[in-house]
Chains A and B, each alone.
Chain A
Amino acid sequence: EADSDGAPSILVPGAVPRRQLCFAWGPAEVLVCETLFGRAGTGEGAPSTSRVFVVRRDQDIYIQTLRKLFNESHGIFMGLQRSEEELAGKSRKAQLVQVSKNYRSVIRACMEDMHQAAISTRDPALQGQYSTQVSILSAMELIWNLCEILFVEAAAAGPLLLRLLDWVRLHVCDVDSMVREVLSSENPSKHKLFWNVVDIFVLQGRMDEARHLLSKEASANPTSMNMYKILDDLMKKMPVPSLGNTQTLTELELKWQHWHEECQRYLQDGTFASNPHMESICKILLGDEDAILEKKELMTTWYHFLVTRLLYSHPTVKPMELRFYAQSSMDLFLGGESSPEPLDMILMAAFEFEMHQVIKECSIVLSNWWFVAHLTDLLDHCKLLQSHNLYFGSNMREFLLLEYASGLFSHHSLWQLGVDYFDHCPQYGRVYLELHIERIPLSTEQKALKVLRICEQRQMHEQVRSICKIMAMKALRNNRLGSALSWSIRAKDAAFATLISDRFLKDYCERGCFSDLDLIDNLGPSMLLSDRLTFLGKYREFHRLYGEKRFPEAARLLLTLMTAHIAPCSFWMTLLTDALPLLEQKEVIFSAEQTYELMRCLEDLTAGNPDKQKFQDDDVETTKVEMLRLALARNLARVIVKEGTVEGS
């Protein structure tokens, strides 16, 4: 049921009608919850049939089955965007027609898959859904095929009719089983449906097949041999447009006129009077509307009727003349008994060359944007939607592509196709991509990396930064400092890198060892992102050098950390304490100059420290300072002696 303003209703099962609803948008879903506006609750533990509904488009069924359609059409779409625009005229047109055929073949492949799925499932509900999808796909292919003939190929008078005949033969298949039945029977000419099949062949311009069947009838019925021979001859001689340039339209029309007159003479002479079937065929050949309309049940659709009419009354019909024949065909065929369905209106709009109308009607009737988005894009490439035709021409293309691609983003893997579509929407594609891509749940590292790669390729710096920050934050909350640091570095987030480095250092102070050594050891140039990070890297290096017993280098580094102010003041005490084992080595490591430097650092630390109280009252701290002073003094003594004794050190 639709609302009075024509909008479709989306019923939420289980939700009480007319209960007020509060809601919230998500990236792919809408939350809906029963509430009462403008009122506080009853405050006394009221009912809670309070339920929350999570509403979303049901992608599951058609995504599974249409997934192949989406994937393969994506390839065709991309090929089209990149295709050679330098090709002009006939080659370009041929290329575009090929693209159109490719799309149609993908639709047909999908139909076939779904048909298989329908017959192999045991669940009647699923079967129903699959069958519905097959019908919809079939309708889409029917419409697309007609658009290809009229718009993409823009078949001219002559070939136009042949294309339309092919189209009808391919798509009006209700009669196929009947045909098979008759042809495979032992005695076709005795089959009760024999003449129906002959009629069908004639109505569809399948002259050879009609003649073949008729010959069987003739051999079974020698008395009508004469009649048969004449009819057969007429059918053989019927002038039809040819695809090559072997004759001009004028020549064809002339020949056709003569042939038409010949048929007329035979009919009027009563040649076929004794055989109503053959007489009716002759009338059809003459384009007699009533005779053709009598075969309504065999044609099944008004557009079949249209093409048959054209074949037998105006085979050289021009594209622009189609609209008149189409309208009158539909009127005659429906005969006021039924009204046109949406599909009929779409096809009519196509015959009237109202491209915009075709797209608009399809948008309303089809529940996904795939069809209109791809068809419109193709028509745009054919330069049929230029601004001078419709002022919103390319806007419409983009609008539809944006809708289609946005829909893909609610799917956990098809969103990647959406990215490419956004890339080819010059006006809003980028911002739509930015908005959608940052909402993709980063459930795993791989997914995050995949999303990041896409953003980096497109210089979407803000999104890169944001995604990395989100991942860093998540890692930090779970105390995975190494991961958090990696992400901060990737985000080039100096502030956060500093924060995490501080955490590392704090952890070290508390536990006496580092976590995530691999990461810190291999920071490389990214160490320079923040001062604290640089310190962290260098400090770890100090520990490594110490561990490898490269004491002089370690000592030099340790000193530099303080003198070059790489280390934060808060850490100096720790560094000086780290110097102790170096000072107490058997061998003298720190030079005199270095020792003086260390002493100066210690004095700076204790003197300039606002927490002087702390140093004085805290026994541990005081002891440490005293130990350091002692060690430094002893080292100084030793080194003075050493440097005084050894030459040229």
Chain B
Amino acid sequence: MFVARSIAADHRDLIHDVSFDFHGRRMATCSSDQSVKVWDKSENGDWHCTASWKTHSGSVWRVTWAHPEFGQVLASCSFDRTAAVWEEIVGESNDKLRGQSHWVKRTTLVDSRTSVTDVKFAPKHMGLMLATCSADGVVRIYEAPDVMNLSQWSLQHEISCKLSCSCISWNPSSSRAHSPMIAVGSDDNSPNILAKVQIYEYNENTRKYAKAEALMTVTDPVHDIAFAPNLGRSFHILAVATKDVRIFTLKPLRKEVTSSGGLTKFEIHIVAQFDNHNSQVWRVSWNITGTVLASSGDDGCVRLWKANYMDNWKCTGILKGNGSPVNGSSQQGIFNASLGSANTSLQNSLNGSSASRKQS
């Protein structure tokens, strides 16, 4: 059984992204109305908007939370060619009573000459670091060396991907065996068969990011990309949202020792490919254990993918709107997954109502 609470978001234009904070008690939304809203979950489960403010001078494409070790910090990116970092200021007691909080801009990152399409914080073990990618094909990695001073960010790396970028994903693995790694997806749709997914790895010797791999089999525009959390595996899992859903494994082979220092080579396998959306897939994202992948497409469905204990992937659920109005009074609507209806059939079996005897 699944329950859905509906929250009237009150943005004045299309919402482009929603993001949960680390503990799932706060969320942020961003919109073409150029603002970001932050919502807090109260003890009884209701959501309240505690902040709403104009963040950019263009559509805001993505909003993302930093790890709570760094405090309450958000990053946003926009059509206005900038990305920004925001910090929540603990306000006066009046604000607290009114349930409002203030967010201040700590920095604006203005290096991009085109729309900034994605912004993602690096895994916390790398410090306070984030990456942006733009339609100009450049991935930029910024760092705040002093975590107590969020106004100082320095551009550490500029990676030229040569194709317009739409999405990035940091490899969350904090294992010493893995160097920092970032995957970049491109939505370039000029006719070519260039690889639309590139993997960059940090080289300890040159202190630079270098291209480690390109997924040659992905030649259609890529809209989203996501590394799965690493469960202590030696290999990496990467999901790609393109004309279908694809899941790749990347197994590091022994590092090649060249004059520029070790660069990992990978053995790449595709472990799943699903075209059930029957249309462009726009988002992919992993749950916290990396056991379920969710994907969303033009068909208006969110599909959940899971591997069983034999490593076979299949669809285990589909979220879609049913159009019926939500009960006005409570924030709840209760409905059955067909797992629930299977329970009914179990119940029927017990009552012997269909398989065993005729209805009298």
Contact = CB atoms under 8 A, between A and B. Distances in A.
A204 B286 CA distance: 53
A46 to B, nearest CB: 5
B11 A300 contact: no
Interface of A: 1-3, 5-46, 48, 50-58, 60-62, 132, 135-136, 138-139, 142, 174, 296-297, 300-302, 333-334, 337-344, 364-367, 392, 395-396, 399-400, 406, 428, 431-432, 435-436, 439-443, 466, 469-470, 473-474, 477-479, 499
Interface string B36-79: 00010001000100000000000100000000111110000001
Interface residues of B, number: 106
B24 A26 contact: yes
Contact of B321 (A16, A31, A338): A16
A31 B18 contact: yes
A48 B10 contact: yes
Contacts of B59: 40-41, 43
B11 A3 contact: no
A399 B1 CA distance: 22
A631 B314 CA distance: 83
B19, B339, B343, B355 interface centre (most CB from chain A within 10 Å): B355
A2 B289 CA distance: 26
- Shortest 7 CB-CB distances between A and B: which pairs? A41-B32, A15-B321, A26-B24, A343-B349, A41-B13, A41-B14, A18-B300
B298 A37 contact: yes
Contact of B352 (A301, A366, A474, A478): A301
B216 to A, nearest CB: 24
Given A16-B321, A31-B18, A135 B350 contact: yes
A490 to B, nearest CB: 14
A136 B343 contact: yes
Given A23-B296, A132-B344, A42 B352 contact: no
A340 B355 contact: yes
B160 to A, nearest CB: 24
Contact of A139 (B13, B322, B337, B347): B347
A15, A139, A364, A399 interface centre (most CB from chain B within 10 Å): A15
A367 B345 CA distance: 12
Nearest to A466: B69
A40 B337 contact: no
Nearest to A476: B71
Interface string B322-360: 111110000001110111101111111111101111100
Per DSSP, chain A at the interface is mixed
Contacts of A22: 15-18, 282-283, 296
Given A399-B308, A406-B289, A473-B71, A302 B356 contact: yes
A35 B15 contact: yes
Contacts of A428: 231-232
14 contacts: A10-B319, A14-B4, A20-B298, A21-B300, A23-B283, A25-B285, A40-B14, A56-B3, A58-B1, A135-B343, A136-B343, A364-B342, A406-B291, A473-B71
Contacts of A32: 4, 18, 302, 319
B6 interface: yes
Interface string B288-307: 11010010111111111000
B156 interface: no
Contact of A13 (B13, B15, B280, B335): B335
Nearest to B351: A135
Nearest to A491: B69
Nearest to B45: A54
B23 A24 contact: no
B273 interface: no
B197 interface: no
A40 B17 CA distance: 12
A214 to B, nearest CB: 26
B40 to A, nearest CB: 12
B319, B325, B351 interface centre (most CB from chain A within 10 Å): B319
B324 A14 contact: yes
A1 B72 CA distance: 42
Contact of A34 (B15, B23, B304, B356): B15
B20 A301 contact: no
Contacts of A297: 357
Contact of A37 (B282, B308, B350): B282
A477 B90 contact: yes
Contacts of B231: 428, 431-432, 435
B7 interface: yes
Nearest to A61: B1
B185 interface: no
